[in-house]
Chain A
Amino acid sequence: MAHPIDIQLNGELCHVAMGTSMVMLLRQLELDERSVVVELNRKIIRRTEMESLFLKKGDSIELVHFVGGG
């Protein structure tokens, strides 16, 4: 991978190529952006922002969805 950068993805260390956008990351993970909520460094990211949002070294990303609960 050319110029990999380290990020935290759901608490795990992960490497992505420099220049990876949030949309590209979700595509690489085969996740539908409509079915997950993305939080970057504790800030919720709107779908419209994802295309132009490029990941930086040390970014912490949480991908969450609804599960069963009481």
Chain B
Amino acid sequence: MEQLTIADRSFSSRLMVGTGKYSTPQIMIDAIRASGAEMVTVAVRRVDISNPERDAILCTISPEEFTLLPNTAGCYSAEEAIRFARLGRAASMSEWVKLEVIGDQETLLPDTEGLLEATKVLVDEGFVVLAYTNDDLVTALRLEDAGAAAVMPLASPIGSGLGLLNPLNIGLIKARLTVPVIVDAGVGTASDACATMEQGVDGILMNTALAEAKDPVQMATAMRLAVDAGRFAYLSGRMAKREWAVPSSPLQGIPG
């Protein structure tokens, strides 16, 4: 399969995964390896001073093995997100950031105004911005204009597992943007991932679907296959839908 290129980096895998909410570090690393993902997201948080190694993700995830993508999760304003992006850059020594500006605590839906503002500032500072947004075409176009390296519309709210709620909007965004479109959030199971990739998007980022599966490692395998299956199906060009049946076997030569 052709590589996915974002900014100046190319990836063999079109699946990116988060590192949150796993029951143990071992299950996390096994699941991430099974997923085939090359890029993983991480969050910036305070060190627990009484136990500095607690929660330290770099004890489990090696930056030599995976490309780290720091996120700005938990930020509710452009200013906060910019601050978190800079902290992430200092910790990862890379300009890549998954930019989130959340607008509502209940739904975790994005504050698109704050997101655009933060994107402009960070792009000016040399960041490679992957912008988490809703499934709105106009916002996606504005993020691209603002210099986002990739636009990441949601399939459904973060952690909901509701799957692809608006395939039409996701397809529209993909059709109109030049930069890669990575669907981020909401994928719950393999069929969701496959259906999402069938819209022609460039990749998927997921976390909870793996971390909260009963068997995260097996689900990671399922997701890897589903992302590939959806991509191959999209590239193949599906048959036209009809509202009537057409037999697949010859009508002639049926024994009397």
Contact = CB atoms under 8 A, between A and B. Distances in A.
User: Size band of the B side of the interface?
Assistant: 35 or more
Contacts of A62: 46
B47 A36 contact: yes
B55 interface: yes
Nearest to A36: B47
Interface in A45-67: 62-67
8 A-B pairs with least C-beta separation = A69-B43, A70-B18, A70-B207, A68-B19, A66-B42, A68-B20, A67-B55, A37-B90
A68 B58 contact: no
Contacts of A11: 46
B139 to A, nearest CB: 20
Contact of B47 (A31, A69, A70): A31
Interface of B: 18-22, 28, 41-47, 49, 52, 55-58, 68, 70-71, 73, 83, 86-88, 90-92, 158-159, 185, 205-208
A65 B91 contact: yes
A63 B90 CA distance: 12
Interface residues of A, number: 21
Contact of B58 (A29, A30, A35, A42): A35
A9 interface: yes
30 contacts: A10-B46, A29-B52, A31-B49, A31-B52, A36-B52, A37-B87, A37-B90, A44-B87, A63-B46, A64-B46, A64-B91, A65-B44, A65-B58, A66-B42, A66-B43, A66-B57, A66-B58, A66-B68, A67-B42, A67-B55, A68-B18, A68-B28, A68-B42, A69-B18, A69-B42, A70-B18, A70-B20, A70-B158, A70-B159, A70-B185
Nearest to B84: A64
Contacts of B91: 37, 64-66
